[in-house]
Each structure stands twice: as structure tokens, then as C-alpha cells.
A and B are shown apart, each in its own frame.
Chain A
């Protein structure tokens, strides 16, 4: 499963980030010349201190942030690009947010149906059927008619994962998906994420859950100050990190 593929030919990468730069107003270089190749079916965990640009990098991949320079290729579709390209990328990329961002005015079923109906133009019955199996996948079959506010944080996040999976994405992005959760409910979300990883879903996860990274990731990326300081296969990263700074970071959080 684990492949090196670092900066290889673009045909081999599910996601190829080239020299991405994102400068926020005020001059903070959140992402400062990042290049990254994520192979198909790879699980890449991005770690690093807060403010190191991990989330911003993730948001560049599906065009939530516009890059100041550089480019992203997702299965051959380039960003920055036309509006149509942006929409194609977003259909191929599912994203899970730290704060879940479920639509509070829609029931769980409608949250998951919405994009299927509007973007994939499915009929109500088709969408309902797909939603049923998505809810089964995140262990929430009995919550289809619930309102988001009636669910626990862990349940909401699992609905958010089902919603992100609804367009059958080629790539899943997780932006600190468990950081806003109670310790008890983190496990149920990580279980779902591990299941996806085992199914061969291409994933990029910004996370602080080193246990999850060790178990599920193929490769690790360590970022600081908007730059990738080190990337390595997961075992090498944890057991024998090259950089002094990575070692220091790992020793502090492990």
C-alpha cells in the first residue's frame, strides 16, 4: 500500500501540489512554496504545530482558498482554473471540517441528499437509497430523520463524513476532524476514518491523533511556517525522523 511517489510524474499522483503559496492579508505566508504528491489510495497525515499552514494547504486543494501562486492537480484537473474546473475538483474532493458545518435547518437525510440532488441531479429515491447506505457506513442508520442539533458531536461529524462521501469523491480531506470532539466520541469518528482508509480511499488528513496516523497513514507530512519540513513513510517518520525539528515535535506530543 505504501508508496514513495514524492514529486513523481503527475500521472501517478491523485493530488499533485506544486509550489503552492498562500499569503493572507497582513502578509502572513500561510503556505509558502509547498509541493506534495498524494498517490491514489494513499493516506497522508499532515502534522505540525498550530499555525503551520496545514489547514490552509488542505483548503487550497479543493479551492476554498485561492492560491497566490503555484497549482494543484486533482486527477488531472488543474487549479487555479476555470469555474468549471473548480466545480469538477469539488465534485471529486470531499471535505470534513473541524466544526462539522452541518446544515442546521435540514434533517440528517436532507444534509446528505442535498448535493446528490443538486450537483449529481439524482432523483429523490436514488438519493434516499444512497443516503441509507452512507448512513450505514458511518453507523447511523437510525438517525436519518434527526436534526443536527439533536446529535452528539461525534454523531454530527459522522454525518458530515457521510455527506462528504455522498458525491462519491475520489479524494477525502479531513481538516482536524476530531479536534472539536469530546475524548469519548473521538474514537467513533476515528473508527469510521480508519474504515475508509482500509477501503482504499485516497485521504489527506490534518490531525493531532498520532495513534490514528500510526495505524492508518501510509505517509506523514510535517509542516512548519508554511513549509513542508519532512515527509516520510509512516514507520520511518515515527521511528527514525530525519529532521531535528520533527524529532522535537514528536517528542513533545507523543
Chain B
């Protein structure tokens, strides 16, 4: 017993000393900064080699004009920011619609109705097993003509139907992961099926599926680039037209990638904040 105790001290001592020196020693932060500088230097050198060896005439100075323009002393959004706004609107509407579709489909698949289950299953399998590009074409060139839907809303519906199929499986997994005891407790308290879902099951299920739903939302943002194929003037479509006029291929596409990245990173950060808040509560 005594030996073990002494051994424990012996093992512990150097470790705690190291930990203490790491925190208080003035060389710690300086060394970390040096490491970052070296890494940044290597990356900078590689970038410089890439730029010079590419034999490409970089004209970054022309890019800001496509982001914002100054007309009559007022700032107005440039072509790319106009496209970004359309991308925002499409993904926002599609996100809301796909979550609703996903939830309804998941509930139908878990319902007692044979017809409901079948319908949900057919929708899910059909959409999940065909390419999004073809679905967009089908919606725009066929369905939109029948119901007189605008270009914009064709794009929104195509994206929503596509992402909704995936979201439905995520919701379904979340719902079936809730313990049977929760259903039984709600039922024994006299709650209706609807009340059980809205007050007991879904609040818990949604918390659990927030991470995969976030991935799905990020996919939606990136998949929205495909709506440029039906000439919706989103960010990608704007970029294509600017590139074809100016031949600033690298500058514009890098800028566009950065803009998509900004949206998706923001989205992930919001989701992470929501998750952290919900975790504290349970």
C-alpha cells in the first residue's frame, strides 16, 4: 500500500513539474508563435511558387468591383453579391421546406397508415436514388410547366424535395432512438399522440439529430450551386457569367468558394452554438 502510494508520487512528480513549466515558462508562447510563423512561411512559399509557375496574369484588383460598386457616391452590391443574395434566398427557403418535408415524411413512415408509409417510402427511395441534376431539370422543364411555377420556385422545390428525403431519414432515426418509456410515460399521463410528439418526443429527437441535420444543411448550400443549370442567377451562375466576360477564372472562382465557405462556416457555428445551449439544458 505504502509502496503503491510512493510509486504514485514518483510517477506524478515529473509530470506535474512539466505541466507547471509549460504554463509559466516565457519560452512557451514564443515557441508556439515561431511554429506558426514557420508553417505560414512554408505555405506562403508554396502559394508564391504556384502563382509564379502558373504563368497566369493575376488581376485581383478587379475582383472588388464585382462584390461592391460605388454609383453616385452610394455603395451598391456588385454582381457576385447579388448572386449571393439569391443563393441566400434559395437555400433559406429550401432549408425550411426540406425540414418540413423531412419531418412529415418521417412521421408518415412511422404512422399506422399503410398508404402513408408507402407514399413516404416511394418518395424517399425515388428522390434519394436519382441524381439531383436530373431532378432539377425534371422539375423545371416538366413540372413547372404544368403548374406554372417560376424558375426560382422550381429551384427551391427541387432542392427541398432532394434534401427533404435525406432529412426524413435523419428525423426518423432520431425519433426511433427515443426510449419506449418516454412514449409510455406520455401515454399514461393521458397525452394525445400529437401532444406526445410535439411536447415529449420531437424536442428530444431534434436535439439528438442536430449534428447530422447540420451536415445536411451544409450540403444544401453547396448543392444549391446546381440551380445555375436552369439559369437561376445565384452565386454560381453570376460567377460563370462574370468569368465568361472577364476571363478572371481563378480570381472569381476562388472568391466564390470563399463566399460559400463563409455561409457554411456561419451555419455550422450557429448549429454548434445551438447544440451547446441544448446540452447545458439536459
Residues of A within 8 A of B (CB): 62-64, 87, 90-91, 93-95, 97, 99, 101-105, 114-115, 118-119, 147, 149, 160, 163-164, 166-167
Cβ of A163 and Cβ of B187 under 8 Å apart? no
Question: B282: which A residues are within 8 A, CB to CB?
Answer: 104-105, 147, 149
Would you call B69 an interface residue if the criterion is a C-beta within 8 Å of the partner chain's C-beta atoms?
no
A-B contact pairs, 6 of them (CB 8 A): A87-B190, A97-B185, A103-B182, A103-B186, A105-B207, A114-B200
Q: How large is the interface on B (under 10, 10 to 19, 20 to 34, 35 or more residues)?
A: 20 to 34
Q: Given A99-B181, A103-B200, A114-B199, are A119 and B189 neighbors across the interface (CB < 8 Å)?
A: yes
Cβ of B191 and Cβ of A95 under 8 Å apart? no
Question: B189: which A residues are within 8 A, CB to CB?
Answer: 90, 114-115, 119, 163-164, 166-167
The 6 closest A-B pairs by CB, nearest first: A101-B185, A101-B181, A115-B189, A95-B188, A90-B190, A119-B190
Of the candidates A87, A101, A105, the one whose C-beta lies within 8 Å of that of B184 is A101
Interface string of B184-216 (1 = CB under 8 A from A): 111111111001000110011001000000000
Name A111's closest neighbour in chain B (CB-CB): B185
B198 vs chain A, min Cβ distance (A): 10
Question: B186: which A residues are within 8 A, CB to CB?
Answer: 103
Interface of B is mostly: helix
Question: B181: which A residues are within 8 A, CB to CB?
Answer: 97, 99, 101
Cβ of B191 and Cβ of A105 under 8 Å apart? no
Q: Given A103-B200, A115-B190, are A147 and B281 neighbors across the interface (CB < 8 Å)?
A: yes
Question: A101: which B residues are within 8 A, CB to CB?
Answer: 179, 181-182, 184-185
B66 vs chain A, min Cβ distance (A): 47
Question: A93: which B residues are within 8 A, CB to CB?
Answer: 188
Question: B195: which A residues are within 8 A, CB to CB?
Answer: 118
A114-B199, A149-B282 known; 9 new pairs, CB 8 Å cut-off, are A64-B187, A64-B188, A99-B181, A101-B181, A104-B282, A105-B203, A115-B190, A119-B189, A167-B190
Question: A167: which B residues are within 8 A, CB to CB?
Answer: 189-190
Question: A90: which B residues are within 8 A, CB to CB?
Answer: 187-190
Cβ of B184 and Cβ of A103 under 8 Å apart? no
Q: Given A104-B282, A118-B199, A149-B282, are A62 and B188 neighbors across the interface (CB < 8 Å)?
A: yes
Alpha-carbon gap, A24 to B191, bound state (A): 25
A152 vs chain B, min Cβ distance (A): 17
Cβ of B204 and Cβ of A104 under 8 Å apart? yes
